[in-house]
Structure 1
Amino acid sequence: MRYMAFDRPVLRRTPGLTFWRLLGSGRGASTSMGADLRRWALLAVWRDERDLDRFLRDSPVAERWRSTTRESWQVRLIPLASRGNWNGVAPFGPLPTSPPGLPPGDASGFPHGGAGGPDPGGPVAVLTRASIRPARLVAFYRSVPGVDRLLAEQDGCLASVGVGEWPLARQGTFSLWRDAAAMRDFAHRGRAHRQVIGRTRAEGWYSEELFARFSPYASEGTWDGADPLA
């Protein structure tokens, strides 16, 4: 846990790293309250792939991943579409948002296929993130178990994890899907998920939200014993 603080100055000085966040994670695949204090994540946006390769080769942060962790997994992603901001910033640059005829994305903590952009075929990754208003925290966490159950039963979800910058109030998910069709099926056919989407809008749960969709093109290592994209 101490490296959640000690890595920050190193990352600020890393050439080519245009946006980054150190994130804690939930237990297992759940997005409910509770944290796995042994598991954490780094979201990183790079100016180009050479900067990433240099970081993985030379940075003391990456060296510690190799030498002291029991397990690690990394994935390289091309952003396809993004809607919303993260602390006032659009971290993935100007990208397509929802095309005509599709509902807008939301950061309810769960992917629902709202961000448009091209469909490259094959697996897709989804990142959601939200700043939850204090008065809406109880409603948000009461809604989580039903969607967690739906997600666990969903055919086509390869892996998912809850992530967060702060305990409780700044939460998100990262999920991997067999293809865009599986992601959309979860979004539109699950009653619990549709209800959450409706309530987030009607009751104003979030002060800020982001939904982004990506195409994974390379991965390395294991996540719970296997590479979900293998």
Structure 2
Amino acid sequence: MTVVLTIQKYRKRYIFFALLSMALFHFTLLFSSKISFYKLMGSGKNGTFDKNPDWQQWVILAAFKNDIQPENFDKKKLIRQLYGRFINRWLQFFGVQTTSIFLTPLEGHGKWDGKIPFEFKEKNYDHKGQIAVLTRATIRISKLIPFWSNVPAVANKMQNAAGLISSIGIGEIPFIKQATFSIWENKELMKQFAYTMQEHKNVITKTRKENWYKEEMFVRFAIIKSVEL
């Protein structure tokens, strides 16, 4: 299995069409024989869980049934080969900039809408080099206030964390279904942030004690390649 996360950046004048694409793209992805799982999501502004949406930035996350290698694709035809002609023509017509990150699932736990979306051929706890992390959760309605009141302290620290290369806050439903996708120099520095930074440890403790999440998932990926168009 290969997972691809495609970040799409629209121009300001096309924001309406960016919103519209989140409905229209479902028809292509839902009937793709190559894709076993997908999500269409918006983005937050500050690289993590964020109440302020970035109306210009949108995301496709897709799990492909078979392993795919980016070097086997014609770069100019990458989006069409991944997602089909309709999505390719749409993004080209509106001059959308895309970054597609090819990933291999290494290890993880949890579910997404009741499903286990990613396959782990064998859990690789000793992966070396850059690593990507996807953390997502469905927040209980009754816990929205305590959850969001604790986000800023962690978000501010994360942006300056040692080893963090980049991060993006994504989500299906504002405030409720949220995720963070981050890229780190290595697993050790990622774990240093996750398990030794006091603000983050405090949030983990509160999450468990106060049962903030209706559903959650945590997955680590190896990065195969990133392709910008």
- 1-side partners of 2:183 and 2:206: how far apart? 25
Partner in structure 1 of residue 80 of structure 2: 56
Task: Report if aligned partners of 1:123, 1:176 keep a CA contact under 8 Å in 2.
Answer: yes
Q: Are 1:11 and 2:35 matched, yes or no?
A: no
Give the equivalent residue in structure 2 for 1:90.
Answer: 116
* C-alpha contact 2:108 2:218 (8 A) present in aligned 1: yes
State the 1:178 CA deviation.
0.5
Secondary structure at 2:162's aligned position in 1?
Answer: coil
Cα displacement (A) at 1:66: 4.0
Identity %: 31
Deviates more, 1:157-166 or 1:46-55: 46-55
* C-alpha separation in 1, matches of 2:90 and 2:172: 21
Task: Choose which of 46, 56, 63 in structure 1 pairs with 2:64.
Answer: 46
How far apart are the structure 1 equivalents of 2:176 and 2:199?
A: 21
Q: How much does 1:65 deviate? A: 3.0
TM-score, reference length from structure 1:
0.82
Distance change >3 Å, CA 12–CA 51, structure 1 → 2: farther
Q: Of the candidates 98, 104, 120, which is equivalent to residue 78 of structure 1?
A: 104
SS state at 2:225 partner: strand
Separation of aligned partners in 2, 1:219 and 1:150:
26
* In 1, Cα distance between equivalents of 2:92 and 2:225: 18
Once the two structures are TM-superposed, the CA of residue 95 in structure 1 deviates from its matched residue by: 6.1
Tell me what 1:158 maps to: 165
Amino acid of the structure 1 residue aligned with 2:183: L
CA distance in 1, matches of 2:178, 2:228: 25
Compare 30-39 and 177-186 and name the one that shifted more. Answer: 30-39
Q: 5+ unaligned residues in a row in structure 1: which ranges?
A: 97-115, 223-230
Deviations 1:104-159 (A, max 9, x none): xxxxxxxxxxxx73232110000011110011001111111100111011111011
The alignment's TM-score, normalised by the length of structure 2, stands at 0.82
- In the alignment, which residue of structure 1 is the partner of 2:3? none
Query: Which whole-Å CA distance do the structure 2 matches of 1:8 and 1:193 have between them?
Result: 35
Equivalence map 1:30-45=2 (5 Å) = 30-45=48-63
1:106: which partner in 2? none
Alignment correspondent of 2:44: 26
Contact residue 16 and residue 51 of structure 1 kept, 8 A: no
After the TM superposition, which segments of 4 or more aligned residues of structure 1 sit over 4 Å from their partners? 49-55
Aligned counterparts of 2:156 and 2:121: Cα–Cα separation in 1: 32
More strand by share: 2
Answer whether contact 1:81 1:95 (CA < 8 A) is retained.
Answer: no
C-alpha distance 30-86 of structure 1, shift in aligned 2 (>3 A): closer
- 45 and 195 in structure 1: CA distance in 2 versus 1, 3 angstrom threshold: same
Distance 2:160 2:215 in 1: 29
CA contact (8 A) 2:132 2:184 kept: yes
3-state SS in 1 of match to 2:32 = coil
- How many residue pairs match? The answer is 203
SS for the counterpart of 1:14 is coil
**From 133, 146, 149, the counterpart of 1:142:** 149
Alignment partners' CA distance in 1, 2:79 and 2:56: 23
Aligned to 1:219: 226
Distance 1:51 1:177 in 2: 22
Q: Secondary structure at the match of 2:137?
A: strand
SS in 1 for 2:222: strand
Distance 1:51 1:160, change over 3 A: closer
- Check whether the contact 1:84–1:208 (CA below 8 A) recurs between aligned residues: yes
Q: CA deviation at 1:94?
A: 5.0
SS in 1 for 2:45: coil
Q: Which runs of 5+ in 2 are unaligned?
A: 1-18
The aligned residue for residue 108 of structure 1 is none
Root-mean-square deviation (Å): 2.1
